[in-house]
Structures are given as structure tokens and as C-alpha cells.
Chains A and B, each alone.
Chain A
Amino acid sequence: MKEVATNYVPQNWYLLLSTFLFCVGIMGVLFRRNAIIIMMCIELMLNSVNLLLVAFSAYSGNSDGQVFVFFIMVVAAAEVAVGLALLVSIYRNVASTDINVLNKLKW
């Protein structure tokens, strides 16, 4: 398995791909206005980290990184559960998932 990976795809390509995905996630969080899409972009950020960890782990033959991925998956699931619950309670109060309605608190 390890040999196949090292023969065809250099490790840096994984690094570039996950950095690209991470940046897409950041851009989404910063520029999209719909709360659900923002949460999807946060998931994208976390999953790009998963990809990176698995790649590093496979290339170095050290399994710690793959175990860490499970931690991230579990925590991400818990985080999304809480986030969606908060979003539902916002939706009940203001009937919108646009984050521009969240403007009661400033300065």
C-alpha cells in the first residue's frame, strides 16, 4: 500500500490539495452568508485536515495520524449537532438562516 502511494503521487501533492481545500473552506466561511453553507465550509476545513493527516501518516508509516482522524470525525459530528441545534433555535425565532439577521449585538 505504502509503495503504491509513493510510486505514483508525491507527498507534496497531498499537501497542496489539502491546503487548497482548506483555503476554499476559509473563503466560504468568510464570504458566504447562509449559515448552513458556512457550516459546510467548516466541515470542508476539518476534512482537508483529515486528508492531510492520512497522507502524512501513510507516507511516514506511522499510524498516529490515522487515529487522530477518528478524533476529528467524532468531534466534528458533535460540533455540527450543536451548531444545527443552535441554528434551529435561531430559525424558530427569526425564520431565516441568513447570518445577516444576526446583528443584534454590536459595538
Chain B
Amino acid sequence: MNTLIYTSILGLLCMVVEIFDFRKILVPMIILGLATIFYINIEDWNHVQFFYNNMLRADNYSVAFSGLAIVISAFVFVLSSDFYKDDSKHISDYLAILVFVLCGALIMFSFWNMAMLFLGIEILSISLYIMAGSKRFDVRSNEAGFKYFLMGSFASGFLLFGIALIYGATRSFHLANIAAYVAAGNISPIFYVGMTMMLVAMLFKVAAVPFHFWSPDVYEGAPALVTTLMSTLVKIAAFGAFYRLFYVCFLDTLGSINLILAIVTAATIILGNLTALSQINFKRLLAYSGISHAGYLLLALISMKGGTANAIFYYSSGYAIATIGAFAVAILVFKAMKNENIDAFNGLGKKNPLLAAALTMSMLSLAGIPPFAGFLGKYYIFSEAIKNGQIALTFIAVLNSIIGVYYYFKVILAMYTKPADETEVSGNVSYYVIISVCLLLSVLLGIFPGVLMHLF
């Protein structure tokens, strides 16, 4: 698990940099470090290895998701140099904490012991509590950080109680031992209660519908760059851990909670899309769109068959790339217009056609329109679901993805049909690099899905 060690060292280095005042080269250093870590991570491909007394297991699943997480955070770090330009005194602290978010995500993809699942989730969450509240003099940011803290630690309580009950039933924290206990039959009722509590905690973390209330508030209040990371990396990390936990441990007992999962999935897809229709704040819109995307991912997760991991990986890659592209444009617009509502985008098509085109393509990818990755992701998830007999849920999902097109087009219409004002919107080269890389990847993944489709 060298990936994890090197990422932690990178985070510590970021803090040391402050002492020697190397802040100018901080971002290039992190990007270089992440590129190295990405390479080291890929080296583990096709070797199943255990680390730290079987606490972590590196397999193709964890390597693929870790690679995705590293790429996503590299994109965010490229944007960060300009985003924190006015606050360069604290940039090394911010970036160090963001690297630790990545550490937490890496643990969540490769855990093989409940202790590691808990530590991974906590490392990721505690870092994010700080980052969400990092605009200290802005009450909204404070509120976002504190709400996230309360909801997150509440959910951790459920997770821990679930882990404790499962420990009581199985006498072990090891995923392999728990799986063996489940396979042996004769499951105690305590185990089911524990499993349900863990399910509740994971649904909290992915912001699925009865537990989604924190996500729009936190997304709106947090600084835009942190929101970018939260809506991509954190959501994917939560899903990666969710799938790994349930696929390895609870596969044979899933029948008992299938109905709950189906209801939660349907509610997440429907409520996420319907509430997004009436949003006027762009971050809040993307938060609800993220909730509905979590619903589609839950639809893939609910059937838990062999091809599901591929569908989840492909879908989350497409979603993450499109979301980063959209946020990169949005950060520039927010900064120029001093306004985070959808009407900040009015007339962007005349003011800066390039950015408007980029945002349009990201929105089309999120809405699931070919030839972008978002379309094929949805297609794979729906076809997996139909293969596994989830006809009714798939019907709901298809219907709702049509509703979804409406609110994505609201942004596109604002850019091209509303009158423009005089404020100029432009940014430095790092934004254009990220935006074009995201668009390129989005189109390439849409045209050549095979690259990521048959990994596992």
C-alpha cells in the first residue's frame, strides 16, 4: 500500500513547505507528487496484496478507484493555485488538508477491516469539516462546516454502532471472517440490526434520500473549490466503500434489505430530480443533481452482480469529469459576477463563448445526452439493472433522467438567450487547461467506453 504512505508523506510535506516558504512551487510539487503516486498505484494492477496484518487489500477494484480519485484531486489542485491566490498565506494548510482528504478516500477504497473503513471515513470527513468551514469570516461557510460536522459525526455514530453489533455477532472486524460468517448461515438477529445501521450510515455519506438534507446546504455554503471536491471525490469514495462493504460482506443477506434499498433508490432519484427543478442557486442545483446521480448509482448497486462494479466505475468517472468541468467554469463566473445564482450565467454565450460551450457540454454530459460519457454511463447502469430484473426502478430512473434534462437546460438557456451585462468573465490558463482536459476526456470516454468498461 505504498500509494497510501506516499500520499500521507505528500500531505506532511505540504505543511513543512510553509516553514521554508516554498509556497510558490507548492502546487507544481503536489501535481508532480500525485503523478508519481498515480504511477505507483498502477504498478499494483493485477497483484492482489494484503498490507498491515490484512487491514488493507490492494486489488484491481481498489487500484482502479484509487487511480480515479488521484486524477480527480490532481484536477482540483490545478484549479487551487488560482482559487487561493488571494489567500496565499494559508495555501499550504488548505492544500495539506485536501491531500489528507485523498488519503481518507484511498483507505476507503482498499479497506479489508472495519477499523480501516471507520478510519478512512473519518480521515476524509474530518478534513472536509475543516475545509467546508474554511472561510472563517463568512457565516455561511461556518454554517456549512458545522452542519456537515454535526450530520457527519451523527452518521459515524450509526456506523460505529453497526460495526459493534456485527462484531458482537461475528467476533471479528475482518471482512473475510464476516463474509465466512454470512456464508455459514445461522445469522443472529443482532447481525441484521448492525447491517441496517451500517446501511443507514453509508446512505448518509452518499446523501441518499431520507438522509440527504445536509448535502445542498453544505455544498452551497462551502467554498466552490471544496464543493467541487465534495461532489466528485467524496461521493465516489462513499460509493466505492459502500459497494466494497456490501459486495464482500453482506452479499448473501442482501435479500433482507432489498426492499429498503429499492425504496431509497426510487425516492432518491425522484426527489433529487424534482427538487432540482426549482433551484435558483447553481451550487444547490448541482447538489440536487448529485443526489439524483447518487440515486442512479444506487440503482447499479442494488443488484450487486459481477458487472456492477464496472458500471459504477464508468458512471462515476463520467460524472466526476463533467462535474469538475462545470465547476471550473462556475468558479470563474462566480468570481466575476459575485453571485452564485443561475442568473449569474446570463449571456455568458456572448461574453465568453468558449466557457459557455464548455459548460454546455458538461451539462449535456450530466443530463446523459450522447456522445458524452454521461450517456453511456446511464445506458450501462440501466441495462445492468434490467438484466437483474429491476424493471420498475429502471422505468422510474429513465423517466426522471428526462425530467433532469429540463434543469440542466435552464443553465444552458440562461447562457444563450438571456441578455448579457458588461462584466467580463475570464480566468488564467489553469482553468482553460482543466476545462479542455475534462471535455476531451468526457468525449473520449463517450466514444471509447471500452477503456474503462472491462476493468474488473
Pick the contact of A75: B122, B163, B171, B172 (CB < 8 A). B122
Known: A42-B157, A45-B157, A89-B133. A102 touches B143 (CB 8 A): yes
Known: A82-B129, A83-B153. A56 touches B164 (CB 8 A): yes
Indicate if the CB atoms of B220 and A49 lie closer than 8 Å: no
Q: How large is the interface on A (under 10, 10 to 19, 20 to 34, 35 or more residues)?
A: 35 or more
Closest to A22 in B: B161
Docked Cα-Cα span, A21 to B356, in Å, equals 54
Pick the contact of A25: B118, B122, B157, B168 (CB < 8 A). B157
Known: A56-B164, A72-B160. A64 touches B172 (CB 8 A): yes
Residues of B within 8 A of A42 (CB): 150, 153-154, 157
A86 interfacial by beta-carbon distance below 8 Å: yes
B149 interfacial by beta-carbon distance below 8 Å: yes
Q: Which of B118, B140, B154, B164 has the most CB of A within 10 A?
A: B164
B144 interfacial by beta-carbon distance below 8 Å: yes
Residues of A within 8 A of B165 (CB): 52
Docked Cα-Cα span, A106 to B145, in Å, equals 14
Docked Cα-Cα span, A53 to B347, in Å, equals 59
Known: A52-B161, A62-B171. A38 touches B118 (CB 8 A): no
Docked Cα-Cα span, A56 to B365, in Å, equals 50
Interface of chain A, main secondary structure: helix
Residues of B within 8 A of A60 (CB): 171
Residues of A within 8 A of B130 (CB): 82, 85-86
Docked Cα-Cα span, A82 to B119, in Å, equals 16
Pick the contact of A105: B137, B144, B150, B164 (CB < 8 A). B144
Residues of A within 8 A of B221 (CB): 104-105
From 14 to 63 in chain B, residues with beta carbon under 8 angstroms from any chain A beta carbon are none
Docked Cα-Cα span, A86 to B160, in Å, equals 23
Residues of B within 8 A of A45 (CB): 154, 157, 160-161
Shortest Cβ gap from A50 to chain B (Å): 9
Indicate if the CB atoms of A93 and B129 lie closer than 8 Å: no
Indicate if the CB atoms of A90 and B142 lie closer than 8 Å: yes
Indicate if the CB atoms of B171 and A71 lie closer than 8 Å: no
Docked Cα-Cα span, A17 to B71, in Å, equals 46
Docked Cα-Cα span, A48 to B172, in Å, equals 19
Docked Cα-Cα span, A42 to B167, in Å, equals 21
Indicate if the CB atoms of A15 and B142 lie closer than 8 Å: no
Indicate if the CB atoms of B157 and A49 lie closer than 8 Å: yes
Known: A60-B171, A71-B119, A82-B149. A46 touches B157 (CB 8 A): yes
Closest to B119 in A: A71
Docked Cα-Cα span, A93 to B144, in Å, equals 14
Residues of B within 8 A of A49 (CB): 157, 160-161, 163-164
Indicate if the CB atoms of B139 and A104 lie closer than 8 Å: yes
Docked Cα-Cα span, A104 to B140, in Å, equals 6
Residues of A within 8 A of B173 (CB): 64, 68
Residues of B within 8 A of A15 (CB): 168, 190
A-B contact pairs, 15 of them (CB 8 A): A22-B161, A42-B157, A45-B157, A52-B165, A52-B168, A53-B167, A56-B168, A60-B171, A64-B167, A75-B126, A78-B122, A86-B133, A86-B149, A89-B136, A105-B143
6 tightest CB-CB pairs across the interface, nearest first?
A45-B157, A105-B217, A49-B160, A56-B168, A102-B143, A52-B164
